[in-house]
Structure 1
Amino acid sequence: MASSIFDKLQVEFIDQDESVQVVADTIGSSGEVPERYVRHEIEANIVIIDNANCYSLPVIDMSRLINPDFSEEEIAKLGSACEEWGYFHLVNHGVDAGLLQQIKADITEFFRLPLQEKKAVAIPPNDLQGFGHHFFFPKEQKLDWADLLFLVTRPVEERSMDFWPTKPSTFRDSLDKYSLEIANVSTKLFKLMAINLGVDEEALLGVFKGQTQSVRINHYPHCCQADKVLGFSAHTDGVGLTLLLQVNDVQGLQIRKDGRWFAVKNLPGALVAMSVTFLRVSCFRSHQILTNGKYKSIEHRAVINPDKGRITLAAFHKPPLSCTIGVGPLQELLMKGEARYKTVDVVEFTKGYFTAKLEGRSYLESLKLGV
């Protein structure tokens, strides 16, 4: 249950009763954004737009990854994507097209419900799961322009069903099925990454055995002053692998590489019959540690559209908190050089990640050796 997770972490999560959708509706097309949402740093950022003449993000084909005739070449592309970007589009991933349609429809319908109905699954004080605005924030912290629904989805026994919406009626069933299919995709990717890294598959999969999967379903309302707010502050995820489903066709994802921000286009035609959908795969913090720095930990953020709301579903996969295996470089990689990161257990890693996020500093940097 979520409460047992935070008993272990001893991190305080504060309830926030404010809905960004209500704020957006209140200011309308001409009102002023409340100061607590205004992000002055955006003005100083130069953003590079994704186009054929500028740059192109990697596209990885799962059907080629598992096809003996093409797997060697595609696995090499997978490794290059993780090393250079820490990010790639995944196509032909095998998730049922009908299921994708259903989960997108259910999520969209949930966020269209009146606020009082959504608050039936509101995040309680000092907890994580449910509908709300923010997990935690000091009073001086700027707020993100987003409402969210956060749920632990796997293992099944870790679910808190009180926070799973019953409206629409198909929501629980479609999320259950989606979580299983996405878990299977993540397992395949972990195996293929192990091949690319030249390590034993079980060594990498062992870290994620009994992996915890959670989902953060994000609704970023439109804002008439979109250049003043951020949907999600710049961050890297404290997990091993994130799979992101774009629920509608509104863009807003940006990633940071070599000190510059890159706007990410949705990938037209990436999923058959789902031309406005893509799955994003990111090799984040614990992968950077496990791979001894070989795979990148990519910083990313969400920006806001002035005319349309954006909805996404991010599925996070990480080792269980009960895992006794330390999060540190894989031994096979240490044979090729000295360790660049400390080894910490999963609870210590997760607690340090949240604490560092609250204090606005990089936890990953604090785990480096010899610095």
Structure 2
Amino acid sequence: MATLNPIDLSGLNDERLASSVRAQIAEACEKNGFFQVINHGVPVELTDRLKEVGQMFFDLPKDEKLVYAGKPVIGAEGYGSRMVLDEAEPKFWREFVELHTLPLSERHYNYWPQQPAEFRETVEKYTLAVLDLAHRLLAVISENLGLKPTYLKEALGETHQNIVFQCYPPCLEPGKTLGLPEHSDVGGITILMQEGDGLQVAAANNTWELVPNHPNAFVVNLADQIEIITNGRYKSANHRAIVNSDRTRRSYVTFYHPAKDQKIFPAPELVDAKAGPMYRELFYIEYLQALAAGRFGGKRLVQSFAINNPLVS
């Protein structure tokens, strides 16, 4: 999948290269909603430090990690662990800690590990740097669509951000489970840093394409609300995480998503006057409620909000 080769964002600052970089991003958004970026502006020293504090936390004894355990519901914060083998229906094989970082009113430090001591400061600095990257990417994507640079940022409304540290330990029977099952992200845009191979994105003919682990690269994927706002021109993509029997894999995922009361709808500029919009208007809370109800898996959730969709007829 050529669009998974890293896109060098430093070219956006060079008049000779900027149009080519924008075209690469546009192609990735149209084909599969996944791409990788390098020279993204987040310092290597900061990404390395985040990996260090993440590993130090996961290396703590289980009882020390359980101090930060959260409730097992969608959108919950805190530490969790799910190791389930099921040959008939592969489930989860991971431990994680999820933290809400923005808005500040939703930053609950009682779920933030106090060990290592640098954990909190590192997460705050890292997520701020990644937020800046998300805004820059949304501006490029908006302009590629013929919209003003701030369109997608404004369409998503008040910034809501969370970060998930994920650890996928070795599994003696990897064929019976998945690190994370097939899904598309529900929010706006997701930026992921991975250590080791294991992330796969849906490809043609019901196959899976491995997202290669490039040093100092971020994986960027569009989420369901961008598909709705772009009226289906740009797609969110199904993806999953696989596990292996001989090594631990870690990833660090930052999600940028709307506020629950944000109204989401296709950009009028991208709606054909004759065909009309592909998706109906909704408040983001409706989407989260449909997710929690578990009525549709994978891409079927966003399709359930399409107008004249057979899933909901």
TM-score computed with the length of structure 2 as normaliser: 0.90
Instruction: For residues 292-332 of structure 1, give each alpha carbon's deviation from its aligned partner in whole angstroms, at most 9, with x where no partner exists.
Output: 11112110010002100111011000111243xx2121111
8 A contact 2:183–2:298 mirrored in 1: no
User: What's the CA shift for 1:59?
Assistant: 2.5
Aligned residue number for residue 85 of structure 2: none
8 A contact 2:142–2:152 mirrored in 1: yes
**Does 1:67 find its partner at 2:14?**
yes
- What's the secondary structure of 1:201's corresponding residue? coil
**Does 1:364 find its partner at 2:302?**
yes
8 A contact 1:356–1:362 mirrored in 2: no
8 A contact 1:220–1:309 mirrored in 2: yes
Aligned residue number for residue 271 of structure 2: 334
Aligned residue number for residue 213 of structure 1: 161
**Does 1:85 find its partner at 2:32?**
yes
**Letter paired with 1:328:** F
Instruction: For residues 70-98 of structure 1, give each alpha carbon's deviation from its aligned partner in whole angstroms, at most 9, with x where no partner exists.
Output: 22221111111111121001110010111
**Letter paired with 2:19:** E
Aligned residue number for residue 293 of structure 2: 355
**Letter paired with 2:270:** L
8 A contact 2:264–2:282 mirrored in 1: yes
Instruction: State percent identity of aligned pairs.
Output: 29
**Does 1:160 find its partner at 2:111?**
no
Aligned residue number for residue 176 of structure 2: 228
Structure 2 Cα separation of the partners of residues 70 and 311 of structure 1:
33
Find the structure with the greater CA-based Rg.
1
Matches within 5 A, 1:103-114: 103-114=50-61
8 A contact 2:3–2:24 mirrored in 1: no
Structure 2 Cα separation of the partners of residues 359 and 78 of structure 1:
27
8 A contact 2:3–2:27 mirrored in 1: no
Structure 1 Cα separation of the partners of residues 38 and 90 of structure 2:
36
Of the structure 1 ranges 65-74 and 282-291, higher mean CA displacement relative to structure 2 is found in 65-74
User: What's the CA shift for 1:358?
Assistant: 7.3
1:361 and 1:238, CA in 2 relative to 1: closer, same or farther beyond 3 A?
closer
Higher relative contact order (CA 8 A, sep 6+): 1
Instruction: For residues 144-199 of structure 1, give each alpha carbon's deviation from its aligned partner in whole angstroms, at most 9, with x where no partner exists.
Output: 01111111011222100000000000000000000100000000001100100001
**Does 1:148 find its partner at 2:148?**
no
1:104 and 1:63, CA in 2 relative to 1: closer, same or farther beyond 3 A?
same
The root-mean-square deviation of aligned C-alpha atoms, in Å, is 2.1
- What's the secondary structure of 2:135's corresponding residue? helix
- What's the secondary structure of 2:167's corresponding residue? strand
- What's the secondary structure of 2:162's corresponding residue? strand
User: What's the CA shift for 1:231?
Assistant: 0.6
Matches within 5 A, 1:197-208: 197-208=145-156
1:366 and 1:57, CA in 2 relative to 1: closer, same or farther beyond 3 A?
same
Structure 1 Cα separation of the partners of residues 305 and 37 of structure 2:
30
Structure 2 Cα separation of the partners of residues 357 and 289 of structure 1:
19
1:357 and 1:261, CA in 2 relative to 1: closer, same or farther beyond 3 A?
farther
- What's the secondary structure of 2:136's corresponding residue? helix
**Structure 1 residue corresponding to 2:252, chosen from 308, 313, 316:** 313
**Letter paired with 2:201:** I
1:361 and 1:62, CA in 2 relative to 1: closer, same or farther beyond 3 A?
closer
Instruction: List runs of 5+ in structure 1 lacking aligned partners.
Output: 1-49, 135-139, 268-274
Structure 2 Cα separation of the partners of residues 124 and 368 of structure 1:
32
8 A contact 1:58–1:81 mirrored in 2: no
User: What's the CA shift for 1:354?
Assistant: 2.8
Instruction: For residues 130-153 of structure 1, give each alpha carbon's deviation from its aligned partner in whole angstroms, at most 9, with x where no partner exists.
Output: 00136xxxxx98640111111101
8 A contact 2:100–2:107 mirrored in 1: yes
8 A contact 1:199–1:333 mirrored in 2: no
Of the structure 1 ranges 140-149 and 197-206, higher mean CA displacement relative to structure 2 is found in 140-149
Instruction: List runs of 5+ in structure 2 lacking aligned partners.
Output: 83-87
**Structure 1 residue corresponding to 2:138, chosen from 181, 190, 196:** 190
1:65 and 1:124, CA in 2 relative to 1: closer, same or farther beyond 3 A?
same
8 A contact 2:198–2:241 mirrored in 1: yes
8 A contact 1:151–1:163 mirrored in 2: yes
Structure 2 Cα separation of the partners of residues 300 and 360 of structure 1:
9
